[in-house]
Structure 1
């Protein structure tokens, strides 16, 4: 297991190139996966099992209702052949049926289900919002799915590799990411940059959020952390083909759902 913690490079800046409100149909956006000309996004629990395509202006350009269940969708990623939706939200820590759906990009009616557990997890013992067996962030690196945990108890993100070919599996951490200023809600790997973009936040009992974006090396070292005071409950992040970074924000009593395009210098 690899565990790394380094000081963030505070000299690198974040430039917000654009920011737009999302359509109300995506007010609980929970994941983002960039493609040429746009991105896929999804809503989390309590919403229909719908897959949206959007552009950088926040406009919905397509929508498909999938024949699968949305218990707590939290993340989406993919490759040229498939999309992967992580039904892995587990704030209370009591879920025993965590799963990932694989959807054929040419025919969205063709879906498969991957089930998994976390090694060492005992759901009955978990205290809501005070355990490390939650997840909202998933990406694909070198042909492998990876989950970054939303670690309420330790704020140390645990990284898990998922074996795509196995229908049911137990996951153990392959790395830890330490030194983040909150919990992780989204991640995306860039093959070109050989680094991860990661978003998350620290929250309080009043529902106030202190969001951040971080860059993580291919060895799971924190190489930059930047606070995002102009945003709130950030949920999704992805690398656009042109090198920019997109993120989405879920609506809250204080602000609307948004999509933003960033550049990290």
Structure 2
């Protein structure tokens, strides 16, 4: 079943001196999201998604060798690429630019990791299972306490990343304040202690990020009650700021643990994105609540 929200504004056409239309109209503003399909049973923990040549690639957050899975738009797996030289602990997001793929091994549920890193693989080696990677290591310079022993009780978890103009942007998943700190550093091999360049009052847990041809950043995530959202950011002097946030739980008809988002292409002037969710199962008051791992399509240009 498809749940849609169409936000349509009246477009006023300019007329020439004879009262005729002046030509093509701008595309109508649209916000529309729909569930496409459940994900393959091996993708219950899909954590990030990217687009390369109009093909979707996703991955889980499981520790071990890095597996990048080509994903059909019906939720099935078309191909699996296992990078034998890359071993991850908690792979939470992936980004791509015109030359490289960036594997973000940055998950930090306990907030005690001292080995946060991004593996940088040449895009030309996409299907090379023996590909080697440069390592970009970083640390949060404002973090002083690494002694936490409880899951999901930290401000230094992170699951979202984009790469823009040679700069990596990391967005934290702040379990305590429900905001996101933004960190920025070069996409060059090395070790970087970094301080936040901005704090965004997002009101939820940020789990994924992507960019579009307009230079905007789109975040995804969910609230503590699994109400999913997307947020559009714009860069002001290189610093991301929130332009708009939309709660999408009502449009989907249920909660969802949205984990990844990727810009796919633009159709008739409207950017198209794909999102993935992780399977969520809990027993509350004797009743089992389950949200499946799924693939969604978002069209957004308003």
Normalising by structure 1, report the TM-score.
Answer: 0.87
Kept after mapping to 2: 8 A contact 1:212/1:228: yes
Kept after mapping to 1: 8 A contact 2:156/2:174: yes
Q: Secondary structure at the match of 1:25?
A: helix
Kept after mapping to 2: 8 A contact 1:99/1:115: yes
Unaligned runs of 5+ in 2: 1-6, 10-28, 282-289
Aligned to 1:185: 207
Q: CA deviation at 1:186?
A: 0.6
Please show how residues 15-30 of structure 1 align to structure 2 within 5 Å. Answer: 15-30=32-47
Please show how residues 101-116 of structure 1 align to structure 2 within 5 Å. Answer: 101-107=119-125, 108=128, 109-116=131-138
Q: Secondary structure at the match of 1:241?
A: strand
Kept after mapping to 2: 8 A contact 1:181/1:201: no
Q: Distance in 1 between matches of 2:50 and 2:297?
A: 13
Kept after mapping to 1: 8 A contact 2:278/2:294: yes
Greater displacement, 24-33 / 114-123: 114-123
Residue 199 (1) aligns with residue 217 (2): no
Residue 221 (1) aligns with residue 238 (2): no
Q: Distance in 2 between matches of 1:177 and 1:58?
A: 32
Q: Distance in 2 between matches of 1:13 and 1:210?
A: 21
Work out the number of aligned pairs and report it. Answer: 250
Aligned to 2:183: 160
Bigger Cα Rg: 2
Residue 38 (1) aligns with residue 70 (2): no
Kept after mapping to 1: 8 A contact 2:55/2:70: yes
Correspondence for 1:212 among 217, 229, 238: 229
Please show how residues 91-106 of structure 1 align to structure 2 within 5 Å. Answer: 91-106=109-124
* Structure 1 residues 116 and 15: alpha-carbon distance in aligned structure 2, compared to 1, 3 A threshold: same
Greater displacement, 25-34 / 43-52: 43-52
Q: Distance in 2 between matches of 1:138 and 1:173?
A: 14
Correspondence for 2:295 among 239, 243, 259: 259
Kept after mapping to 1: 8 A contact 2:112/2:146: yes
Q: Secondary structure at the match of 1:262?
A: strand
Q: Distance in 1 between matches of 2:277 and 2:40?
A: 12
Unaligned runs of 5+ in 1: 1-8
The alignment's C-alpha RMSD in Å is 2.1
Greater displacement, 213-222 / 143-152: 213-222
Q: Relative contact order (alpha carbons < 8 A, sep ≥ 6): 1 or 2 greater?
A: 1
Deviations 1:212-251 (A, max 9, x none): 1111122333222211222511000111122211111011
Greater displacement, 110-119 / 54-63: 54-63
Q: CA deviation at 1:86?
A: 0.6
Q: Distance in 2 between matches of 1:124 and 1:217?
A: 32
